[in-house]
Amino acid sequence: MSGLDKRVGSYEEALHGLQDGMTVLAGGFGLCGIPENLIAEIRRRGVRDLTVVSNNCGVDGFGLGVLLEDRQIRKMIASYVGENALFEQQLLSGELEVELTPQGTLAEKLRAGGAGIPAFFTATGYGTPVAEGKEAREIDGRHYILEPAITGDFAIVKGWKADHFGNVVYRHTAQNFNPVVASAGRITVVEVEEIVEPGELDPTQIHTPGIYVDRLICGTFEKRIEKRTLRS
């Protein structure tokens, strides 16, 4: 196995080095494109006092919601409380520290972190509680607030296909937060449905280049539907 081969043999190896108090960035939106097996491994390891950055916190009993059940998350940075009653309960009780962030701002904070940009100005949130304690500036007659970038100790990502080098393709809307999360982790771990030989992926279709990926594992997935809607 060459140094460019990102494959690991187990989920335990995939998250080697994860410790209490670390910041974990998690891809996905609702239950679409979530790294469900990596989340399950975090639960199994029992690490605590985590800061987790993700669009939302899964649902009760699945996705990041299982980490809330075991009180493993100290702080959640998200844009949406969503369908998770336990998340809402822990937020309102003060048991869980929550930093609610506008969805587009959250995506840009992660993208900026991955690009090495420490902060950026955005008009979103100016004049609201989101802006409290943040630097404000008027540019060309419009008011903006300064938002710091986000990076993490670990980034956990769900892809569709990847090659041995860690070049990743996401399927349809599973692109959501996964590409920006993948770029912003000090250690980025990707689980995929299929690993193919180098050269099998069309270079023009790769969403996350392997340079961002440190560890790669192939898994099986439940693909649970958050809200099933059918025609009458």
Per the structure block, which two tokens stand in for 89? 């309960």
Residue 62, domain CATH: 3.40.1080.10
- Residue 224 inside a domain? The answer is no
Phi, psi of 121 (to 5 degrees): -95, 135
Structure-token pair, residue 161: 């296909």
Is the C-alpha dihedral spanning 91, 94, 95, 98 positive or negative?
positive
Asked whether residue 156 is assigned to any structural domain, the reply reads yes
Note down the domain range covering 81.
Answer: 11-113+151-218
Tell me the pairing of strands 119-122 and 136-139: unpaired
**pLDDT per position as a tens digit, 126-178:** 999 999 999 999 999 999 999 999 999 999 999 999 999 999 999 999 999 99
Q: Over 60: is that where the pLDDT of 122 sits? A: yes
Give residue-wise pLDDT tens across range 17-62. 999 999 999 999 988 999 999 999 999 999 999 999 999 998 888 9
What is the chain's length? 232
In a domain, residue 63? The reply is yes
Residue for token pair 């998350």: 73
Q: Are 52 and 90 in contact (CB under 8 A)?
A: no
- 122 lies in a domain? no
User: Collapsing DSSP states into helix, strand and coil, what is residue 135?
Assistant: coil
Please give the tally of structural domains in the chain: 1
Residue with tokens 């987790």: 52
How far is C-alpha 102 from the chain's CA centre? 15
Residue 3 lies in a domain: no
Taking the model in full, what pTM does it have? 0.93
